[in-house]
Amino acid sequence: MSYNTLNALNLTNKTVILRADLNVPAHDGVVSDFTRIDRLIPTIDYLRSHNTKIVVISHFGRPKGKVNPDYSLSFLTTVLIDRWSCPVHFSEDCIGEDAQAQIADMGEGEVMLLENLRFHGGEESNDMAFAKELAKLGDVYVNDAFSATHRAHASIDALTTLLPSAAGLLIEEELDNLQHILKTPEQPVAAVVGGAKVSTKLSLLKNLVTQVDYLILGGGMANTFLLAKDHKIGKSLAEPDMVAEAKDIMQTANDANCKIILPKDANCAKEFKAGAESATHKSSAIPDDLMVLDIGPDSIKEVSAILSECKTVIWNGPMGAFEIKPFDKGTNELAQLVAKLTKDGKVKSVAGGGDTVAALDGTDSSKDFTYISTAGGAFLEWLEGKTLPGIAALEKNKKAA
């Protein structure tokens, strides 16, 4: 199955409802990472070149169906004017007569940013009546919120049944790249998976061990696997109730000929604090009063040798507590290696998910990866082989265009 792309729609002089993901990292109205905003520029430019009016809809945070000024999207108006280099207006509700009137009044080539979709409960409940209100705001619907396609919400799912629909250029780029690099990857394939917990990535791990040659584990989640191997891990972050699952994953990996690489050694400290006094210990002998905060030098050496033999690398999650020095070392050194291997044409590399891009950017390595996904949850669900509801909705309603 496939979905419509922008060239399937008759766009000229139309009003386009564009589902974007403007759920960007921001504190006190200051955006700390513009990636999701900037990667919408090709779609914005394409739509403007067809003299459309662009109605941008998005969620922001989790206001849970209630109006809450802390989650207003209004602060992004000036940011979008700057990043997208076009006139951007703001409407205080994402549905209703006022929004409709403001859209009617604006000029072609201009953008109307609507208030947070999640101020209405109908968004998350995929309510058709709410979707019908949204549909009144435009002639055609474009979804370019790849990072929200794992949610069957009204602006992602129900709305596709009401208007001619297509994927925007970012969704097209994301899926083309993920499919091209990872559907039939060049082997051997290594997945580098880190981050805090096993529980949040359980289905990812279960799926990966049946697909890849090496599963390289780091971060807090590796501690749970060390526990499953009866290692003492001192005061380290771990999930003892996930030990049985970790054992299961190790068995599945063994049956599938996938090698799980656990850290041989670790950089440990007494407390989770920048500049904390740290020392390297073997993973089999972590002192009782210390916690593992990063992979150690022998692990970096072992993993580097494996990655240098691989043709494809998938990366999700940091190898340690990368936000605080010196525990960013394992993540940084491996990220730099993957970036170099990619630059030298030796591997294809894809990274995505949550904190991953921020972690890789500690050394500015991500620019040399073959592809960086803008998505967190949707990237992981795609890797797990799950159907993304937002993409399925576009495919199902292809005929509507």
Residue 212 engages ligand AMP in binding (rule: CB under 6 A): no
CB nearer to ligand AMP: pick between 325 and 398: 325
Nearest residue by C-beta to ligand AMP? 195
Give the H/E segment covering residue 102. Answer: helix 97-105
CB nearer to ligand AMP: pick between 294 and 368: 294
Residue 358 engages ligand AMP in binding (rule: CB under 6 A): no
Q: Which of 83, 340, 377, 396 is catalytic?
A: 377
Candidates 263, 318, 330, 389; binder of ligand AMP (CB under 6 A) is 318
**ω before 164 within 30° of 0 (cis)?**
no
Q: Is 197 one of the catalytic residues?
A: yes
What count of other Cβ atoms lies within 10 Å of the Cβ of residue 174?
26
Provide the minimum distance between the beta carbon of 320 and ligand AMP in the complex, in angstroms, as a whole number: 5
Q: Which of 218, 330, 354, 362 is catalytic?
A: 354
Q: Which of 83, 132, 136, 197 is catalytic?
A: 197
Candidates 323, 361, 384, 395; binder of ligand AMP (CB under 6 A) is 323
Provide the minimum distance between the beta carbon of 126 and ligand AMP in the complex, in angstroms, as a whole number: 26
Query: By rule CB under 6 A, what string of x and - marks binding of each residue 273-292 to ligand AMP?
Result: -------------------x
Residue 317 engages ligand AMP in binding (rule: CB under 6 A): yes
Strand segments, DSSP code E, in 206-296 are: 214-217, 259-261, 265-269, 278-282, 291-295
Residue 197 engages ligand AMP in binding (rule: CB under 6 A): yes
Burial of residue 197, with CB atoms counted within 10 A of its CB: 0-12 exposed, 13-18 middle, 19 or more buried: middle
Residue 321 engages ligand AMP in binding (rule: CB under 6 A): yes
Rounded Cα distance between 205 and 253, Å, is 10
Residue 362 engages ligand AMP in binding (rule: CB under 6 A): no
Q: Is 220 one of the catalytic residues?
A: no
Candidates 195, 234, 330, 389; binder of ligand AMP (CB under 6 A) is 195
Residue 196 engages ligand AMP in binding (rule: CB under 6 A): yes
* Binding segment (CB under 6 A) for ligand AMP, from list 44-52, 168-176, 194-202, 252-260: 194-202
* Binding segment (CB under 6 A) for ligand AMP, from list 107-115, 171-179, 315-323, 343-351: 315-323
Rounded Cα distance between 90 and 190, Å, is 45
Alpha helices (runs of H) in 256-360, residue ranges in sequence order: 297-309, 329-343, 356-360
Which amino acid is located at 379 in the chain? F
Candidates 63, 122, 168, 220; binder of ligand AMP (CB under 6 A) is 220
* Binding segment (CB under 6 A) for ligand AMP, from list 173-181, 249-257, 314-322, 380-388: 314-322
What count of other Cβ atoms lies within 10 Å of the Cβ of residue 18?
25
Q: Which residues contact 379 (CB under 8 A, 6 or more apart)?
A: 147, 178, 316, 352, 353, 373
User: Length of the chain in residues, anyone?
Assistant: 401
Candidates 237, 276, 306, 401; binder of ligand AMP (CB under 6 A) is 237
Three-class SS state of 268: strand
Burial of residue 189, with CB atoms counted within 10 A of its CB: 0-12 exposed, 13-18 middle, 19 or more buried: buried
CB nearer to ligand AMP: pick between 178 and 292: 292
Q: Is 36 one of the catalytic residues?
A: yes
Please give the backbone phi and psi of residue 79, each rounded to the nearest 5 degrees, phi first: -65, -45
For CA atoms 203, 209, 211, 215, give the dihedral sign: positive
Rounded Cα distance between 353 and 203, Å, is 14
Candidates 219, 263, 296, 390; binder of ligand AMP (CB under 6 A) is 219
Six-digit token string for 206: 């279960």
Rounded Cα distance between 203 and 45, Å, is 38
Provide the minimum distance between the beta carbon of 16 and ligand AMP in the complex, in angstroms, as a whole number: 34
CB nearer to ligand AMP: pick between 237 and 401: 237
CB nearer to ligand AMP: pick between 122 and 296: 296
Residue 293 engages ligand AMP in binding (rule: CB under 6 A): yes
Residue 63 engages ligand AMP in binding (rule: CB under 6 A): no
Six-digit token string for 160: 């596709």
Q: Which residues of 112-144 are buried (b: 16+ CB within 10 A; e: fewer)?
A: bbbbbbbbbebbbebbbebbbbbbebbbbbbbb
Q: Is 354 one of the catalytic residues?
A: yes
Binding site for ligand AMP (CB under 6 A): 195-197, 200, 219-220, 237, 292-293, 317-318, 320-323, 354-355
Q: Which residues are catalytic?
A: 36, 197, 354, 377
